Structure 1
């Protein structure tokens, strides 16, 4: 429910922000990005998740209701790939920045949660249909982005995410931004190439797209055109099991028992991996395929070890979700999650070819 006073305030400020959009900084948690936002009377550090749609708080810092907080009486439960939470549903004001406020946002307040150590919850930027069936009231929960657009606070029903690779071992550094409602031309190079959301299920439920993967100068086939997703909370690039095995053979990598990642003896023979979306080919450089060596200790690796950020999805190709382009790779690309036009945009950035390893 939208409070009239907030709606009026939002429409008054919208004219001022429409020209440039509003951005929210992303800080680095090494395997995913975080944003700090205000909900009710508290500030919360939330994971930036393009693979889910519910926004919730309370995993670490207890929820602090504000003057406009409303307990709906409903409950909510969401299961993730490596965790879950359950609790109550509130309607509350969400301050994304001093310029950007959404009122009456459906917010989950965790009673219990697993897999969310040292964070307060999740900012869900996935398609809203992912929230279907998560609350006791049923139905779909509009995302923060959708409510901002409905209230007139942003020009377009989209978010654009800009990131850059790690350059140090320090968590908490600003390494990107979320732009609500508009793209930021200073953050990407060349053109943004758009592709419609795939029609193949279950990838079609997420930010899903059709793509193929090839390795090296010979462009050896790794994965023929198939459906997968982009997900800013999955740490690695995950490939269907058969494609993962082909990638392993092509690179000469071996599984490392300490880290669970593939390991190569040197960088001399490691080549780029390419993925093609429609007629556009993107290069994932050899450096981008390597886990940052400065961070080897946090995954239990050897200081000089060369570990790869490509993992096994755990299912054969043809399952309808054959790859996940995760955080490690997305740090080198600009992505536009365009709900209004049901499409995904991808562009290169000044960091696509960084040699950080």
Structure 2
């Protein structure tokens, strides 16, 4: 097994759709709350159905680069032989890996399975054929015969070449045509095959970010296999995947939130999701947060904004996960002012990185910790042990925005 950590640089990219962050996050959340695969139908953790409770009924590390495009993060992934690099969106909320055609070009390692695939997004869709091909996350992690979707039709997917899905394998069900038996079987994911082919020992994906301050800068990496201790402080704290549906279909956790010393969200189930930009809160928590900060809704960005005087008086928020409190400082609660233009905001505006789940929230998925939260912490998605881990980093309390 390869237990060595391999660091790879990456760059930030800003998407053309950054001005629609709130709208796109809400569309994605609608699919997640419905208990669907965020990018397709019929997905759930079938293997875990017997463990569901509450909510609605069950329905060595190797590091690669990832880049923030102002909304999400992109990794340069080499596909085929001779290999060609494609910029794939990193998504913990889905598990299929796919690429557009064009730019995808079949090579000597490409095999068309003749199976159609189709994935429906909250704000778009893609369809095409399933292929198997060689996929290299970095020189040390080269996967043979990996299933990928090759999409000849895409809707609202500009600015990316495809998606690198690192969610649970059950989310691949129903995304391709049934096999000869007529069953919608799981499609082995990137991480499944890394383990199966002996490239890593444990099926874990670790995500490390530096807070985004520029539209074109290196700011994070993925680590496959074992966590990289140089990227986080102290110990990693793990919590089991929540048993509450539909959050348990994804990287779901139980969490409460306080603003200063006052709890604004009692413990409930939600998810950790790199594919969501903002931090999504249930309406009661969002309204309490708005009242505490004195923020007003900006009609242009559809985000809460505060004045400089209000910002100066803001308090830290505390996310309690598995008995550990993770501090989100007031600086971490605002969009980087150097990137206000990506939102369509004025240069001097102070925009908060929270959105209201509204009527979408339910007892089974009340919140989403998107990249605005995740960029301040080291997070581990551990399939082998069905758990999620968090740790602070040197950027957790940094003043960058």
TM-score of the two chains, using structure 2 as the length reference: 0.82
Equivalent pairs, count: 339
Please, which runs of 5 or more residues in structure 1 have no aligned partner? 1-13
The structure 1 residue matched to 2:257, chosen from 195, 208, 213, is 213
**Relative contact order, CA 8 A, sep 6+: which one is greater?**
2
Contact 2:3 2:226 in 1 (8 A): no
Match of 1:91 in 2: 132
The structure 1 residue matched to 2:185, chosen from 124, 139, 147, is 139
How far is 1:112 from its partner? 1.0
Residues in 2 aligned to 1:185 and 1:211: alpha-carbon distance in whole angstroms: 25
Match of 1:48 in 2: 90
Residues in 1 aligned to 2:335 and 2:2: alpha-carbon distance in whole angstroms: 43
Deviations 1:256-306 (A, max 9, x none): 001110011121121111110121010011000000001111111111101
What are the equivalent positions in structure 2 for 1:322-341 lying under 5 Å apart? 322-341=366-385
The structure 2 residue matched to 1:272, chosen from 316, 337, 342, is 316
Match of 2:160 in 1: 119
More strand by share: 1
Report the 3-state secondary structure (helix = DSSP H, G, I; strand = E; otherwise coil) of the residue aligned with 1:271: coil
Match of 1:27 in 2: 67
Deviations 1:88-123 (A, max 9, x none): 100111011111111111100111112221210000
Cα 1:246–1:153 shift into 2, 3 Å: same
Matched, 1:148 2:189: no
How far is 1:18 from its partner? 7.6
Cα 1:107–1:278 shift into 2, 3 Å: same
Contact 1:158 1:339 in 2 (8 A): yes
Residues in 1 aligned to 2:289 and 2:105: alpha-carbon distance in whole angstroms: 48
Contact 1:214 1:274 in 2 (8 A): yes
Contact 2:3 2:62 in 1 (8 A): no
Report the 3-state secondary structure (helix = DSSP H, G, I; strand = E; otherwise coil) of the residue aligned with 1:250: helix
Matched, 1:167 2:213: yes
Q: Between 121-130 and 25-34, report the one with greater CA deviation.
A: 25-34
Matched, 1:260 2:273: no
Report the 3-state secondary structure (helix = DSSP H, G, I; strand = E; otherwise coil) of the residue aligned with 1:315: helix
How far is 1:21 from its partner? 2.7
Report the 3-state secondary structure (helix = DSSP H, G, I; strand = E; otherwise coil) of the residue aligned with 1:190: coil
Residues in 2 aligned to 1:245 and 1:76: alpha-carbon distance in whole angstroms: 41
Match of 2:232 in 1: 188
Contact 2:86 2:161 in 1 (8 A): yes
Deviations 1:48-85 (A, max 9, x none): 111110100016x4211121211111111112232221
Deviations 1:210-256 (A, max 9, x none): 0001101xx22211100000111101000112221121111111110
Contact 2:238 2:322 in 1 (8 A): no
Q: Between 203-212 and 73-82, report the one with greater CA deviation.
A: 73-82
RMSD: 1.5
Matched, 1:179 2:223: yes
The structure 2 residue matched to 1:157, chosen from 203, 211, 222, is 203
Deviations 1:114-154 (A, max 9, x none): 22212100000111111111111222112101110111100
Deviations 1:191-211 (A, max 9, x none): 100000000011000000000
Please, which runs of 5 or more residues in structure 2 have no aligned partner? 7-59, 179-183
